[in-house]
C-alpha cells in the first residue's frame, strides 16, 4: 500500500456519493465504514466495478434523514476503497483512503444513490513562509495536546512532528485532533492552506483550553 501521507490523487470525473451524519472523509486519512443500507450496498458494487472511489459528504446540521442533494454539503472528501470485506449478514466493512477535497458540481444520478461530477480543490499556498510558520505553531499545539490526552497513535504523532508539507499537516491534524464534524467540514472547505492552518490553530487552542480547565 502506498504511504497515505504521500498519495497522489488521480481522480475520475464522476463518482458516487455517500452522505452521512457526523462523518466525513479528510484527505490523507483512513476511514473505516460499515455498509448496511441497501442503496449503499448497490453503490459499493458499482464502485468495485469502476474506479473503487466514492465521496463521503456530511449531512447538514439539523437534517435527520437526508432526502435531496441539498441536504448535504457539496465540498467533500473523495476516497479510494483499500479494503472491502463482506460479512455473513450481507453488510460490508470498508477502509477508505482519503485522496483529495473536491466540490460536487453536478449530479448525474439521484437514486438509488447519488453520482456527481467532481472538481478537485487543490491546496493553494500563496505564501510558503507564512504557511511554514503556521504549520510550526500547529505542531507546537499538537505536542501540548498530546501531553494531556491519550489515544493518539505513536506513529501518527511522529508523522505530525516531522511533517514539512503544511497542507498535508493540516489535514492529518484535523483528522487526529478535531472531533466535531462541522468544524472538520469548515476545515475541509478551506483550499487556501494558510486559511486552513489559522482556523485549525483556533480550534486547537480551544481544545487545549478545555483540557487545561478539565
Could you say which residues of the chain have pLDDT below 70? Answer: 1-9, 150-151, 214
Q: Which three cell numbers stand for residue 84?
A: 472491502
Sign of the four-CA dihedral 48, 13, 170, 76: negative
pLDDT of 2 reads 36
Report pTM: 0.90
pLDDT of 214 reads 56
Residue 179 backbone phi and psi in degrees, to 5: -95, -30
pLDDT of 133 reads 97
For residues 137 and 202, state if they share a domain.
yes
Q: Which three cell numbers stand for residue 92?
A: 460490508
Contact (Cβ atoms closer than 8 angstroms) between residue 91 and residue 28: no
pLDDT of 10 reads 80
For residues 116 and 10, state if they share a domain.
yes
pLDDT of 7 reads 38
Domain range holding 202?
128-213
pLDDT of 153 reads 74
pLDDT of 137 reads 96
For residues 13 and 92, state if they share a domain.
yes
For residues 143 and 95, state if they share a domain.
no
Q: How many domains does the chain divide into?
A: 2
Alpha carbons within 13 angstroms on the beta-carbon side of residue 166 total: 27
> Which of 58, 91, 120 represents a domain boundary (last residue)?
120
Q: How far, rounded to the nearest angstrom, does the alpha carbon of residue 13 sit from its chain's CA centroid?
A: 19
For residues 14 and 116, state if they share a domain.
yes
pLDDT of 210 reads 82
Which secondary structure element, helix H or strand E, spans residue 82, and what is its range? strand 75-86
For residues 112 and 146, state if they share a domain.
no
pLDDT of 148 reads 78
Instruction: Name the residue among 97, 101, 140, 142 with its Cα closest to residue 119.
Output: 101
pLDDT of 5 reads 37
Angle at 32 (CA atoms; ends 37, 174), nearest 5 degrees: 120
Instruction: Name the residue among 22, 88, 8, 97 with its Cα closest to residue 55.
Output: 97
pLDDT of 8 reads 45
Burial class (CB in 10 A: 0-12, 13-18, 19+), 107: middle
Amino acid at each position: 500500500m502506498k504511504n497515505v501521507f504521500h498519495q497522489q490523487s488521480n481522480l475520475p470525473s464522476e463518482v458516487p456519493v455517500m452522505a452521512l451524519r457526523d462523518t466525513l472523509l479528510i484527505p490523507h486519512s483512513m476511514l473505516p465504514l460499515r455498509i448496511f443500507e441497501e442503496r449503499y450496498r448497490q453503490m459499493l458494487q458499482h464502485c468495485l466495478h469502476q474506479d473503487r472511489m466514492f465521496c463521503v459528504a456530511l449531512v447538514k446540521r439539523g437534517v435527520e434523514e437526508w432526502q435531496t442533494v441539498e441536504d448535504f454539503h457539496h465540498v467533500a472528501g473523495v476516497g479510494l476503497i483499500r479494503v472491502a470485506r463482506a460479512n455473513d449478514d450481507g453488510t460490508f466493512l470498508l477502509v477508505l483512503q482519503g485522496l483529495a477535497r473536491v466540490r460536487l458540481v453536478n449530479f448525474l444520478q439521484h437514486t438509488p444513490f447519488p453520482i456527481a461530477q467532481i472538481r478537485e480543490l487543490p491546496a493553494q499556498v500563496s505564501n510558503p513562509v507564512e504557511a511554514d510558520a503556521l504549520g510550526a505553531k500547529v505542531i507546537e499545539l499538537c505536542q501540548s495536546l498530546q501531553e494531556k490526552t491519550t489515544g493518539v497513535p505513536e506513529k501518527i504523532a511522529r508523522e505530525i512532528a516531522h511533517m514539512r508539507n503544511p497542507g498535508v499537516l493540516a489535514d492529518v491534524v484535523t483528522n487526529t485532533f478535531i472531533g466535531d464534524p462541522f468544524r472538520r467540514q469548515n476545515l475541509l472547505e478551506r483550499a487556501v492552506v494558510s486559511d486552513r492552518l489559522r482556523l485549525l490553530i483556533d480550534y486547537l487552542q480551544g481544545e487545549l483550553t478545555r483540557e487545561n480547565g478539565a
